[in-house]
Structure 1
Amino acid sequence: MNKNMIKLAASSVLLGLMACTANANDSADTQNVRKLFQTRFADRQVLSVGKTPVKGIYEVVLKGNRIVYVDQKVDYLFVGDLIDVAKRESLTEARQASLSRVDWKSLPLQYAIKEVRGNGERKMAVFTDPDCPFCKRLEREGLEGVTNVTIYTYLYPLVELHPDALHKSQQIWCASDRGATWTAFMHDGKALPSATDCDTSALARIKELGERLGINGTPGLVFANGRIVAGAIPKEEIEANLDAK
């Protein structure tokens, strides 16, 4: 359930293109654009500024890996996809994917609910909200029948959309069997245990992790190859990502 218009996809073509075309003049230009942007949008944290293939248009990456475009004087700002018409490719999606790659080894798996299916050799993580209907769809349809996988579930309640989701996440986290409680609730709608008196500090750490990774909605899927995918994608797409290198 997305909270903004940024879409996540897989490719790193644009990042390489921009690195190959940078030069000293580009650096001076981008530094000036950055300075102007920060003057006009003092409340926004700029992570990087770079040239695009379109003359006079610059890419600005903001905190959370959100991409916007501006002209050289920052008189105009554009939000949306920059499309290479000849190749019929979204350069924005390609750049977003390169920014969103995750080092799987860096994930704090101790804060996740672990489920091993079959030999568990494939790996994926899911940032999920117990009150998100698309998360339920992922559990009931997308992940149904997927085997030989270890799934790490991060409870990631979006309280702005679902006010009771944090409380439910606490109930799940404090359950004696978190995995069974989660599955029963998401698949069958079974009542959650009432206790919430355990240490739930892991939920705050998961929130920080998700924000740092730029996960703006649920479900957010992270695969072992570092790719982040947003939404309740179908089983076939999950399988393809699990097998991808």
Structure 2
Amino acid sequence: MKPSPILAIALAALFASGSALAQSPATIKANIERLTGGKVKVDQIQATPAPGIYQVISDGEVFYTDASGRFGIIGGTMLDMQTRQDLTADTVNRLTSVPFSSLPLRHAIKEVHGNGSRKVALFEDPNCPICRVFTKFVDQLDDVTVYRFMFPVIDPSSQALARTAWCSPDRAGTWKAIMAGRRPTGTQDCDVSGLVEILKFGEKHRIQNTPTVFLGNGKRLVGATPPEQFVAELDASGKAQ
């Protein structure tokens, strides 16, 4: 998970201030918050398998600190070199997952491919080059129910395109044409409260990049996931439902 600028700046203060070794996670928490001037609020802290290193969760971000709370490691992944287990991934997945049923599905463009047994929710922007490639890939998937969400966040022109599709009598067809690169014209004067609800959902759940995908088991995938990995994740999510 990429750290926010505020978190990175605040944690830099850890290297400029001294601190006695902590005796407990509560003391480490207090030290981090003191040394960063209260800019980093620790939501959770726990020991890792590595002696003297603790995993910290702060406002949805994951980082690591030493036993004193003075030195922080941000933007990295902790691995068990012997078992090759990613010790950060489980925490990140837990923090970023969203129950599929909580998505604003009634406002999505729904497509059923084959038996529709697997589920995918796709947040996409027409001005996102990766989205335009990825949406064609999703079109080719078999036995999947796809929920496409208009998520116009890249550029003001994205919002105009989304409104055009939203207000079209053929919402699905117009959006597909827009995602294919065409720029149809039409009215933008209609009730867009559903589109607003999608954007509010994205803000609430920190959807900050496109494409963002939620699988049926709630797992979030962001950006250009390699096709083989995506299909494997999709298959695994179907088994977990």
TM bracket, shorter-chain basis: 0.7 to 0.9
Q: Closer, same or farther in 2 for the Cα pair 1:70/1:113, shift >3 Å?
A: same
Point out where structure 2 has 5 or more consecutive residues left out of the alignment: 4-22
For the residue of structure 1 that corresponds to 2:45, the secondary structure is strand
Among 178, 181, 197, the residue aligned to 1:185: 178
Please give the TM-score of this superposition, normalised by the length of structure 2.
Answer: 0.77
- The residue number in structure 2 matching 1:218 is 210
Contact 1:175–1:193 (Cα < 8 Å) also in 2: no
Structure-2 residue corresponding to 1:122: 118
2:225 alignment partner AA: I
2:106 pairs with 1:106: no
Identity level (%): 34
Match of 1:197 in 2: 189
Assess, with a 3 A threshold, how the Cα gap between structure 1 residues 98 and 77 changes in structure 2: closer, same or farther. Answer: same
Query: Bigger shift: 125-134 or 205-214?
Result: 205-214
Higher mean alpha-carbon deviation, 77-86 vs 197-206, is at 197-206
Highest RCO, 1 vs 2 (Cα 8 Å, sep ≥ 6): 1
**1:182, 1:213 → 2: CA distance?**
24
Q: CA shift at 1:234, angstroms? A: 4.3
Distance in structure 2 (CA, Å) of the matches to 1:204 and 1:61: 30
Q: Paired residue for 1:150?
A: 145
Letter in 1 for 2:175: W
Deviation at 1:43, TM superposition (A): 4.1
CA–CA distance in 1 between the matches of 2:160 and 2:81? 47
- Contact persistence 2:77–2:86 (CA under 8 A): yes
Q: Counterparts of 2:54 and 2:96 in 1: how far apart (Å)? A: 19
Instruction: Name the structure 2 match of 1:77.
Output: 72
| Residues 1:47 and 1:114: Cα distance change in structure 2 (over 3 Å) | farther
- Check 1:149–1:56 CA distance in 2 against 1; reply closer, same or farther (3 A cut): same
Q: Is the 8 A contact 1:146 1:235 kept in 2?
A: no
The CA deviation at 1:154 is: 1.7
Equivalent residue of 2:43, what SS?
strand
Larger Rg: 2
Distance 1:148 1:237 in 2: 17
Does the aligned pair in 2 maintain the 1:137–1:232 contact within 8 Å?
Answer: no
Q: CA deviation at 1:207?
A: 2.9
Q: For 1:49, what is the secondary structure of its paired residue?
A: strand
Q: Please tell me whether the aligned partners of residues 161 and 183 of structure 2 are also in contact (alpha carbons under 8 angstroms).
A: no
CA deviation after TM superposition for structure 1 residue 243, in Å: 2.5
- CA shift at 1:45, angstroms? 5.0
Contact 2:162-2:175 within 8 A present in 1 as well:
no
CA deviation profile, 1:171-213 (whole Å, cap 9, x unmatched): 22222222111111112x1213342222223333323323443
State the secondary structure of the residue aligned to 2:91: helix
Pair 239,30 (structure 1): closer, same or farther in 2 beyond 3 Å: same
Match of 2:225 among 215, 233, 238: 233
**Mapped contact 1:143–1:235 kept (Cα < 8 A):** no
Distance change in 2, residues 1:175/1:93 (3 Å) = same
C-alpha deviation, 1:135, in angstroms: 0.4
Q: TM-score, normalised by structure 1?
A: 0.76
User: Which blocks of at least 5 consecutive residues in structure 1 are unaligned?
Assistant: 7-27
Shift of 1:57: 2.2
| Corresponding residue of 2:15 | none
Counterpart of 1:10? none
Residue 45 of structure 2 corresponds to 49
CA distance in 2, matches of 1:51, 1:211: 31
- CA RMSD between the two structures: 2.5
* 1:242 alignment counterpart: 234
Q: 1:164 aligns with which of 148, 157, 160?
A: 157
